[in-house]
Every structure is written in structure tokens, then in C-alpha cells.
Amino acid sequence: MRAAILRHLPTDGTVSYGTGRPLSIEELAAPQPRAGEVGVEIILSSLCHSDLSMVNGARLRPLPMALGHEAVGRITQLGDGVQHLTIGTKVVLVFVPSCGSCRACAAGRPALCHRAAVSNNDGELLHGPALLRGPGGERVNHHLGVSAFADFSVVAAESVVPIDEDVPDEVAAMFGCAVLTGIGAIRHTAMLGAGQSVIVYGLGAVGLAAIMGAVRQGADSIIAIDPNTNKHALALACGATAVGTPAQAQELVDRATGDGVDIVIEASGFAAVIGQALDVLTRGGAVVCVGLPHPEAQLTVQALAFAGTGKRLLGSYMGDAKPAADIAFFVQAWREGRLPVQLLYTDTRPLAEINEVLDALAEGTVIRRLLAPISHARSTAGRPSPEVI
């Protein structure tokens, strides 16, 4: 198998990823799935800001590591005891494999699975230690139990969700992270209701998916904020009723509601934005934090904002989603034309160009640029974008 491996963090922040090439495409021994695991041929993987955070050092994991956590693939192997899946099934990969028995899973919050958090942090799989091996038997860690920047991956059976064949690969690839996280934050964490108002900070794929989710939930005012004005037209296409830069946020909120919005979705990944979000919130409203700031970033807010005004500050990991049920629900909404996920798709590039794709993501010139493994590059090159429903 071939996979994109991160062996060291860039030491010179002035050098582009395309020049510094922190990720190398390497040949590894293809592992066999153990009990409770499956082998998956990767069709398309998707580059997300969480991957970029790994490469730039904002998220620390054990290296070397085979990166990639959002993808669509097809099951080619079944480990012992896997009876609910079949070879040939098209699947979405998800980055939190729920164990089903820990306290979080028992409470109906599989996105916060305790066992998955430990295995993901350690670069292992839910059912055992890392399987990937480099030269001389060197251990290569798994990224969030998925390691999808490859042509093949072994994952826990709990990391895959079957998806219908009629969903285009380019659309299916985005359901495992962007859609679950963005729409889940609106539907599950914020529990946005019809007629309420929402502002979304950060118009990457997750923030744009949150806008789609707000439309689906019947929000009245949906304000989209990003300093990159090139993203504003796309936010309007996704359903935003107003767009602007951070400097325009307060004015847009005053114009829309007069006294603050009900829900803020913070999808920018900057701690300072959380403080700004509390300022545009109405009494009793909630800020939902979806972005991943640097671990050393600190937050200073007025303590009285909570007990004094009833404002809430909520964290949302993977949108508090239940992947199996939610992906089926979201796919049906997409099929009916109520979740235009295809708008998030930028284009598809060969996996070999992954370092250059990192540059484009860091510069904010793409939303979801997908990567085709070496074995699929020829078949996906030049494929037209999914048709807008």
C-alpha cells in the first residue's frame, strides 16, 4: 500500500508546504485486519483543516503518522467477528469509532467515546495497537483511526458507515467530517429551532455545512462571517441571508435582530473569536465552539456573561453526532435537495500533490479539495463536479 506519511513538523514557517514537502508518499506493508476490523480500498479522501493542524504543529500526535481522516472507500476485507458488513460495500469513514460501552457511549454520545479518544490520541486503532509498518518494521501511527491519505486502510468496523451507491464519490467523501461536524453542531449541540437566528464565524467546509444545517432547521436569520470575502458568495449559495467580515459582524447582527443572535457557531479555530461571539449573542443564547484553536491559546471573557445573562458556551466534537443514523438522515436530505453538500466540493487532485493542496487550504483558496489515491488518479482526473441539485 502507499500512504502519505508525516515524519517531522516543518521548522521554517516561511517555507510553503509544496516546497518543504512535510508529507511523503511511501510504500508500506499492507496490514491484515484483526478481529473487529475491516480492510478498505480508499476511493477519495478529503483534506480538512484538522489535517493542516497536524502538519503545522497545532495538534500534536505521535509521529511518524499516516494522515487523513475523511474519506469514502469500499470494503475489501473482513476481520474475524465482523458480520454486519459485506465485502464490496461502499462506506464513509468516520474519525471517532464508538466502542458502545464506555460512559459516553452509554449516555448516547458516541462522538465522545472514551476508548476512541485514547486510541486516537495514541495513534492506535480501537481494537489494538498500530498496524502500519515502515522500513525495517518501524511503527507508523494511525491518524484518528482512519489514515485515509492512502490507497488502502485497515480500520475498526466501528469507523465505517455504509452509504448508498447513488451518492457520488465526491459528495460521499465529505460526510464523515465536514457534514457530521457542521450540521451536527447546529442540530445536536445548538439544537437550533425554527425561527431562531444564527451567525457562523469561519467559512470553511464545516462552517458552510453549518449554514446548510441552519437552513434545514428553519432558521430565520443566518449570518456568515469570514475575513476572506471570496467565500461570501458561496455562503449565500449555501443559504446565508447576510455575509460580512468580522468587522461587520455587529452591524449585521443589529440589523437582523436588534439584540443579538440566538446561536453562534465558532468554526474559525481562533480563541479570540469566541470572545467576540459572546458579544453578539442575545440573552440566553449559546456559543457553540467547533473550531480547534492551538492548544496553548487561552480565552479571557467576562465571567458575568454566563450567570448574569444566561449565555452558554458549548463545545461540539464531531457535531455530537451519531454517525450511522445521522449520515443516513443527511444523505436523504441531500437526495431531496435540502442539503446541497456538493457545493463544498472544489476539485480532485492526485494524492501525490498533497503538499501543494496543503498550501491551497492554508491560503483559503479551496473549500474541499479531494485526493485520489495513485490507483484512482486516472479514473477521477477531469471528472466533472457533481451536479447541483
Q: Does residue 258 sit in the same domain as residue 191?
A: yes
Q: Report H helices in 123-173.
A: 169-172
Structure confidence at residue 59 (pLDDT) = 79
Question: What CATH code is carried by the domain that includes residue 301?
Answer: 3.40.50.720
Q: Does residue 102 sit in the same domain as residue 206?
A: no
- 318, 348, 369 - which closes a domain: 318
Domain enclosing residue 28, as ranges: 2-173+340-380
Query: How is the beta sheet containing 261-266 ordered, strand by strand?
Result: 242-244, 221-225, 197-201, 261-266, 281-289, 312-315
Residue 313 placed within a domain: yes
Residue 326 placed within a domain: no
Q: Does residue 43 sit in the same domain as residue 154?
A: yes
Q: Does residue 132 sit in the same domain as residue 28?
A: yes
Q: Does residue 90 sit in the same domain as residue 73?
A: yes
Q: Does residue 189 sit in the same domain as residue 274?
A: yes
Integer Cα distance of 274 and 218 in angstroms: 24
Among 156, 161, 216, residue whose Cα is nearest residue 185: 216
Please check whether residue 277 is in contact with residue 263, taking contact to mean a CB–CB distance below 8 angstroms: no
Residue 334 placed within a domain: no
Residue 272 placed within a domain: yes
Structure confidence at residue 312 (pLDDT) = 96
Using CA atoms, how far residue 30 sits from 103, 124, 200, 310, in Å, is: 34, 16, 42, 53
Q: Does residue 299 sit in the same domain as residue 211?
A: yes
Q: Does residue 349 sit in the same domain as residue 239?
A: no
Using CA atoms, how far residue 87 sits from 125, 174, 291, 365, in Å, is: 20, 22, 36, 38
Using CA atoms, how far residue 336 sits from 299, 331, 333, 339, 357, in Å, is: 41, 9, 5, 8, 32
Structure confidence at residue 57 (pLDDT) = 79
Question: What CATH code is carried by the domain that includes residue 352?
Answer: 3.90.180.10
103 CB-contact burial (10 Å; exposed 0-12 / middle 13-18 / buried 19+): exposed
Structure confidence at residue 15 (pLDDT) = 75
Structure confidence at residue 58 (pLDDT) = 77
> Which amino acid is residue 180, in one-letter code?
L
Structure confidence at residue 331 (pLDDT) = 97
Write down the residue that cell numbers 459516553 correspond to. Answer: 104
Q: Does residue 273 sit in the same domain as residue 166?
A: no
Residue 385 placed within a domain: no
Three-state SS at 325: helix
Residue 328 placed within a domain: no
Structure confidence at residue 348 (pLDDT) = 96
Residue 227 placed within a domain: yes
Tens-binned pLDDT, residue by residue, of the chain (389 aa): 999 999 988 777 667 898 889 999 999 999 999 999 999 999 999 999 889 888 987 778 899 999 999 999 999 999 999 999 999 999 999 999 999 999 999 999 999 999 999 999 999 999 999 999 998 899 999 999 999 999 999 999 999 999 999 999 999 999 999 999 999 999 999 999 999 999 999 999 999 999 999 999 999 999 999 999 999 999 999 999 999 999 999 999 999 999 999 999 999 999 999 989 999 999 999 999 999 888 888 988 888 889 999 999 999 999 999 999 999 999 999 999 999 999 999 999 999 999 999 999 999 999 999 999 966 544 444 444 333 32
Q: Does residue 169 sit in the same domain as residue 22?
A: yes
Structure confidence at residue 385 (pLDDT) = 39
Tally of structural domains, the chain: 2
Q: Does residue 144 sit in the same domain as residue 237?
A: no
Q: Does residue 194 sit in the same domain as residue 297?
A: yes
Residues comprising the chain, all counted = 389
Residue 386 placed within a domain: no
Structure confidence at residue 138 (pLDDT) = 95
Residue 27: enclosing H or E segment and its boundaries? strand 23-27
Structure confidence at residue 375 (pLDDT) = 60
